[in-house]
């Protein structure tokens, strides 16, 4: 499971809004130990104070879903990790891991806040016969 999560190019980040609604966004991420990291990067945005950050501050929990879809359903799988979440501006190892994973970040290193999910739950499914 860990290899699949670490190697996935994109995940779907799930947070909970202050009024209890689910909020999902695709995101770049890195797995370091038992923590998922994602950073606010320089892609065009109206603000660096993204909804996902406000959600974590209001409800400090998060999930990340990675998956593989294929028309041959015998190749399907998904993995969801969840746990307490936090927002920080001081996680240099997280940004280093993102830079190592994504060549785009080597060109423009993320400088925004970092979202971290300390994984305490791993769930998975894959097609089996």
Residue range 55-84, pLDDT digits in tens: 999 999 999 999 999 999 999 999 999 999
34-59, pLDDT tens digit by residue?
Answer: 999 999 877 766 766 789 999 999 99
| Contact between 104 and 63 (Cβ < 8 Å) | no
DSSP characters for 98-128?
HHHH-HHHHHS---S-EEEEE--EEEEEE--
Q: What is the domain partition of the chain in residue ranges?
A: 2-126
Please work out, in degrees rounded to the nearest 5, the angle formed at the alpha carbon of residue 41 by the alpha carbons of 65 and 95.
75
Domain 2-126 has CATH 3.40.50.10880: no
**Among candidates 56, 62, 74, 68, which has minimal Cα distance to 124?**
68
**Among candidates 110, 128, 123, 117, which has minimal Cα distance to 48?**
110
pLDDT of residue 114: 95
For the question of whether the overall pTM of this predicted structure is more than 0.85, the answer is yes
Task: Say which residue, 91 or 8, is predicted with more confidence.
Answer: 8
């Amino acid at each position: 499971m860990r290899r699949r999560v670490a190697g996935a190019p994109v995940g779907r980040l799930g947070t909970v809004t202050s009024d209890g609604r689910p909020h999902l966004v695709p995101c770049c991420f890195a797995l370091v130990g038992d923590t998922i990291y994602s950073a606010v990067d320089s892609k065009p945005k109206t603000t660096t104070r993204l909804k996902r950050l406000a959600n974590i501050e209001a409800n400090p929990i998060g999930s990340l879903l990675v998956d593989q879809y294929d028309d041959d359903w015998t190749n399907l799988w998904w993995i969801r990790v969840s746990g307490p979440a936090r927002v920080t501006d001081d996680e240099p190892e997280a940004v280093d891991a993102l830079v190592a994973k994504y060549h785009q970040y080597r060109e423009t290193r993320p400088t925004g806040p970092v979202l971290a999910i300390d994984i305490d739950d791993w769930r998975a499914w894959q097609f089996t016969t």
